[in-house]
Structure 1
């Protein structure tokens, strides 16, 4: 069975909320996150009453399973706050596409090697063979299919391209953390 997630994370790989508790409190107060839920032995959260207003589901008739584990299967919507980690991690599933150079759009076919090098030496940068520009590996255009970070807000049960965070949700995250957030889609087959 596939594992589908929408993952929100700080826009800069090294950023992390100063207080996970403050972030959780804000998400609870705006009713994005609801009651706690134990899932696979970890702390997760049910969707809050405003979950469907704070994520914009695209298309004419999206399927959103707001049910219970074991009743609706593993693809029900629930959330987890993951991190902060001491150092940034790469997160990518079976849906990762080759990233592109931010300057000229050159397609980086050897991205798995780049990620391995980055994991060994996070300060290492990449030089584009086409335009000659140099970029930190997390700054490549990963096309919303992978991310680098110390903190992740994972939302299970959201398929690739099915939903996007609302401006209200992104603004709330920015206000409580002091920095911008981005998102990507994770799928593990």
Structure 2
């Protein structure tokens, strides 16, 4: 999967720019988006995940405007923002089923994938407990699980702090 961001710009009503024209190309893989506060990271990610339409420019997936293939595109994107809105009253499993439904996964497929992710992320024993009872690390892992539900071809994480970049090992 290739994603091309072609001259994407975001200008607000007061004529302030959240993004100046951006042109980037990404190939299948995992990417991190780093930068200082106000650099436009969240705006760009909102555009890439189709939560926001750019003022101008186009995002292409394999050469096709993402607006023409919304469902297929969204099912192939994994996104882990710096903070992810979890629902503390739900169990980890219930939360992942909810996100799976939003991503269009069948209940049968979602249940199997969720079990696999809970196991891989060492959350099996707490999968049926309320997220409110989770430690910070467990909350991060359940957030990772939601980003990986659809086995994305393209995955992004955001962290504005250069000193906390994940490393291999």
* TM-score, normalization by structure 2: 0.26
Higher relative contact order (CA 8 A, sep 6+): 1
Instruction: Indicate the structure with greater helix content.
Output: 2
TM-score under structure 1 normalisation?
Answer: 0.24
As a proportion of its length, which structure holds more strand?
Answer: 1
